[in-house]
Structures are given as C-alpha cells and as structure tokens.
Amino acid sequence: MTKANTAIVTDPIKLDEPIKRGEQAIDSITLRKPKSGELRGISLADVLQMQTDALITLIPRLSNPSLTATEVRQMDPADLVQCGGEIASFLLTKRAKGETE
C-alpha cells in the first residue's frame, strides 16, 4: 500500500477476469482506505468476514476507476475475494499488522 494525497490506497489489483464497460475492459483497480462515514450502513463484522453483500456495497465507494454495484456483482469470485482481503486489511490497526510508526 502507498500513500497518495494523504489517502492510503492499495497497489493496483490485477483482475483475473477484466470487467467489461462498453468497449472498455478494466483489468486492474485500486482501492482507497475508507473513512468512517463511508462505512455507514455496513456491518464491520460483515466486511471483515468478506460477506458478499457488504463488499458489493463498499467496493463502489472505494474503487478507482469507480465501479458500479452491478459491475461488482459480475466480478469473478476470485477478484471479489482479493478486493475483500485488501479492504479487510485497511480495518486492522498498525499494531495488529505488526507495523511501527
């Protein structure tokens, strides 16, 4: 993960199955660490357990390029799990990740 404009973002996530958007194929995305307000209406436990509905709601809020919920629903399951793992890691403290300041 790298810092860009003070927002923490993932390294590009290479998708196993590109997402089709018209003539365009999206083959990689980045995810930004959410702010607390972006987690409204979503159970943190569901996010940490990578529940599909929670990820379908949250990924469009954090992705670049911005994906729609419909596009996330059509993602390859392996890509959804990869994104879910990145999002779950955002919710861990530095201490839990073994990082020091």
Q: Give the model's pLDDT for residue 4.
A: 45
CB-based contact 79:16 (threshold 8 Å): yes
What's the domain range around 88? 2-97
Average pLDDT, integer, range 67-83? 97
21-67 pLDDT, tens digit per residue, is 999 999 999 999 999 999 999 999 999 999 999 999 999 999 999 99
* Total of domains in the chain: 1
Alpha carbon distance 40, 18 (integer Å):
29
Using 50, 70 and 90 to split pLDDT, how confident is the model at 101?
A: low
CB-based contact 8:32 (threshold 8 Å): yes
List, in sequence order, the alpha helices (H) in 1-101: 44-48, 52-62, 69-73, 77-90, 94-97
The model carries a pTM of 0.85
Among 92, 72, 97, 93, which residue's Cα sits nearest to residue 13? 72
